[in-house]
Structure 1
Amino acid sequence: MSLSLAENVIVAGADNRPPMLDKTMYSSWASHMLLYIRGKENDKLLVDSVLNGPFKYGTVIVLGTQLHLQQ
C-alpha cells in the first residue's frame, strides 16, 4: 500500500507554516530578503527604508517678513 502525498508530508513531519518564517532561521531569511530587494529598481532607497524605518516628513521653517494690505 502506497502513501498519498498528504500522508507523506505528515510522515516527514512538515508543519503548516513555511520554513522561511521559522524564528530560528531569521538571519537567513532576512539576508535573503535584502538580497532580493537589492535586485529591484530603487534598491538603495528600499534597503534604507527597511534598515532605518519609513521616511518621515520634517518641518521646514522659512523666515519671511510681515506683509500689510494696501488700500
Structure 2
Amino acid sequence: NEMDNSGTEVVLLIITLFNTVLSAISDQDTFYDITDSLEQQGMQRCTQFYLNRKPIEADLVEQFQIFDVRSK
C-alpha cells in the first residue's frame, strides 16, 4: 500500500496545503468540483488510514478534521 510509505510530515504538508487552497476558493462551484475530485480519488480512505494510525499525530489529525469539516 503506497500510503504506508508516505512520511507523516509530507502528508501533513499536503493536507495543510489542501486546507489552505480550499479556504481561499470564493466560488462555490469550484470548491465543490475540487472536493468532489478529491473524494473520487480516495480522500476518505486516506483520511481514515491516517486517523486510525498509531501513534496518533495530533497535528495531522487536526488538519484532517479541518479538511473533513470544510469539505462537507
Q: What TM-score comes out, normalization by structure 1 length?
A: 0.30
Relative contact order (C-alpha < 8 Å, sep 6+): which is higher? Answer: 2
Q: Which has the higher helix share?
A: 2
Higher gyration radius (CA): 1
Q: Give TM-score, length-normalised by structure 2.
A: 0.29
